[in-house]
Chain A
Amino acid sequence: MKLTLKVWRQKNNQTLGRLETYVLEEVSEDSSFLEMLDILNEQLIADGQTPVAFDHDCREGICGMCSLTINGIPHGPDGGTTVCQLHMRRFNDGDTITIEPWRARPFPIIKDLVTDRSSFDHIMQAGGFISVRTGSAIDANEIPVPKPVADYAMDAAACIGCGACVAACKNASAMLFTSAKVAQLNSLPQGKPEKDRRVLAMVNAMDEAGFGSCTNYGECSAVCPKEIPLDMIAKLNRDYIVAQTKSIFTKVG
């Protein structure tokens, strides 16, 4: 199939970027989206041009590195899919495809389609941990976890931290990411001791990084490759309100 690509090219965070148009004459329907970009890059190198920088690692939908906004939709047109799992058969011969990076102030562009997502790491560092006793490892299943709670925590833990939620949100809000991380640890018995201080610290880190605020559009969940549901955000709000209220009366964390 023949494709016209409009790709965001930007040298670094200090320079302005713009869309460049490239034409690929022959792309196999069976190639993945990232393989299609590999083909583009080989063509660019052969022509003596700089290849397009884009993030990727596992290419099997589990690491959260790949991060392309395709025709305005993070991770492309398929729901519940990372862009590395997207295939060219999803497009038609003769299509024009616009490829842009994640766009948010807390995700500055490093080069072309690669962004610096360390603001997510800062949110994790603020509260994405639990206290464990040192010494020998405790037996598995020593702490009973009710099945519905385990299922809920597992749904939250599916988050791979790719940042598509921020990219899709019209406010560039990181509520879905933060809520998944908070919900996972706050719902399990192992995470209970830091429950209140965790939610306060992680929301603080989220705000400090400069993400926008949630207006409950639901675009985040709609593009999330792991389909993290919006009720995680309701839980984040609930836990936050409870923790703030408690902090009026007692010392939290």
Chain B
Amino acid sequence: MSALSAIFTTTIGRKVIMALTGIVLVLFVLGHMAGNLLIFVGPDAINAYAYQLHSMPAALLWAIRLFLLVCAGLHIWMAVLLTIASRRARPQSYQQEATVQASYASRTMRMSGIILLAFIVFHIAHYTARIVPGMEYDQSLVEVPLVQGGEVVLKSSGVPVMTFDVHTMMVQGFQVWWVSLFYLIAVGLLCMHLSHGFSSMFQTLGLRNRIWEVRLNRAGLAYGWLIFLGFASIPLAVMAGMIQADPSSSIALVELLK
């Protein structure tokens, strides 16, 4: 069997794909969280960050999106294939089931994964494609001037560069209680998925021994909590009224009004 077909057909090969795509997703999630936390710096900061992301060449933007989609797709596809094979390996289950030590997170990877998938689909429809009924954010209606380094960025014609108001979209989104609730549940499940997945990833790639097993298990738990607290802080702050959609706080508008 060639190495290429082995990685897609053997149990270890498929797990290696899950671990490699897992690394990509783990790093993406960390970067995504760091970017989102800019909302605490202020509307201008997060809007400028979003502007920067969207002003990269379209080809590059789509290449990155495609890459992430392929990684998520492979991760899920391999999970499905391996789950089917494992179910087949035990056609008759025990009349009395028992668990000696396996963590709750490890036993619910498939369930946490499926709910995460549902969340990711909703999340993209909500904030990226903006097609959730009743929550379409009309680009032209919610544009604000771009602010960088505390100053409004002007075009050569002297007109301010306008950018999509991501800040307001996030605040309005999280002011809907069930959006925030779904979001909190999803990041909670992500925390669980990662608290097992992080360390599991190293084991699958053969990069774990007796000493590092303990360290990586702890690191995975810490990483899961970091991701949870980072993401959860935003809807919680919005619902607590700490972050408000107040355009007057934007330097840009203050300057324009002058």
Interface residues of A (CB under 8 A from B): 6, 8, 19, 69, 71-73, 98, 100, 103-106, 168, 170-173, 175, 203-204, 206-207, 210-219, 222-223, 229-231, 233-241, 244-245, 247-248
Question: Complex Cα distance A51/B202, Å?
Answer: 48
Q: How many A-B residue pairs have CB under 8 A?
A: 144
Most buried by B among A210, A217, A240: A217
Task: Say whether chain A's binding surface is mostly helix, strand, loop, or mixed.
Answer: mixed
Which residue of A204, A206, A217 is within 8 Å of B106 (Cβ)? A217
Contact B107 A170 (CB under 8 A): yes
Question: Complex Cα distance A222/B106, Å?
Answer: 15
Most buried by B among A105, A173, A210, A213: A213
Residues of A near B95 (CB, < 8 A) are 6, 8, 19, 98, 100
Which residue of A103, A236, A245 is within 8 Å of B90 (Cβ)? A103
Tell yes or no: B207 within 8 A of A by CB: yes
Contact B106 A212 (CB under 8 A): no
Q: What 7 A-B pairs are tightest by C-beta distance, nearest first?
A: A238-B206, A72-B98, A212-B86, A171-B86, A212-B89, A172-B89, A213-B11
Q: Shortest CB–CB separation between residue B46 and chain A, in angstroms?
A: 37
Interface residues of B (CB under 8 A from A): 1-3, 6-7, 10-16, 82, 85-102, 106-107, 109, 196, 199-200, 202-210, 213
Closest to B1 in A: A204
Q: A72-B94, A204-B1 are in contact. Are A171 and B200 (CB under 8 A)?
A: no
Contact B11 A231 (CB under 8 A): no
Q: A100-B95, A105-B88, A213-B85 are in contact. Are A230 and B203 (CB under 8 A)?
A: yes
Contact A210 B89 (CB under 8 A): yes
Q: 24 A–B contact pairs at CB < 8 A?
A: A19-B95, A72-B97, A98-B95, A100-B96, A105-B90, A170-B102, A171-B86, A171-B89, A172-B86, A210-B89, A212-B89, A215-B86, A215-B200, A216-B106, A216-B196, A216-B200, A217-B106, A219-B99, A223-B100, A230-B203, A230-B213, A234-B209, A240-B206, A248-B3
Which residue of A69, A168, A231, A248 is within 8 Å of B208 (Cβ)? A231
User: Given A72-B98, A247-B3, 7 more contacts at CB 8 Å?
Assistant: A71-B98, A104-B89, A212-B88, A213-B85, A215-B106, A216-B200, A230-B208
Contact B92 A103 (CB under 8 A): yes
Residues of A near B87 (CB, < 8 A) are 212
Residues of A near B200 (CB, < 8 A) are 215-216
Residues of B near A247 (CB, < 8 A) are 2-3
Residues of B near A98 (CB, < 8 A) are 95-96
Q: A103-B90, A235-B206, A237-B203 are in contact. Are A218 and B102 (CB under 8 A)?
A: yes
Question: Complex Cα distance A206/B89, Å?
Answer: 12
Task: Say whether chain B's binding surface is mostly helix, strand, loop, or mixed.
Answer: helix
Contact A213 B15 (CB under 8 A): yes
Contact B102 A103 (CB under 8 A): no
Q: Shortest CB–CB separation between residue B39 and chain A, in angstroms?
A: 36
Q: Shortest CB–CB separation between residue B241 and chain A, in angstroms?
A: 43
Contact B205 A244 (CB under 8 A): no
Contact B109 A215 (CB under 8 A): yes
Contact A234 B106 (CB under 8 A): no
Q: Shortest CB–CB separation between residue B136 and chain A, in angstroms?
A: 40
Contact A241 B16 (CB under 8 A): yes
Residues of B near A73 (CB, < 8 A) are 98, 100
Which residue of B13, B99, B199, B213 is within 8 Å of A231 (Cβ)? B213
Contact A231 B88 (CB under 8 A): no
Q: Shortest CB–CB separation between residue A171 and chain B, in angstroms?
A: 4
Contact B10 A229 (CB under 8 A): no
Residues of B near A19 (CB, < 8 A) are 95
Contact A219 B102 (CB under 8 A): yes
Contact A237 B101 (CB under 8 A): no
Question: Complex Cα distance A215/B107, Å?
Answer: 9
Question: Complex Cα distance A214/B3, Å?
Answer: 20
Question: Complex Cα distance A211/B87, Å?
Answer: 10
Question: Complex Cα distance A106/B85, Å?
Answer: 12
Residues of A near B10 (CB, < 8 A) are 203-204, 207
Question: Complex Cα distance A6/B95, Å?
Answer: 10
Question: Complex Cα distance A238/B208, Å?
Answer: 9
Residues of A near B199 (CB, < 8 A) are 216
Question: Complex Cα distance A235/B213, Å?
Answer: 12
Contact B94 A216 (CB under 8 A): no
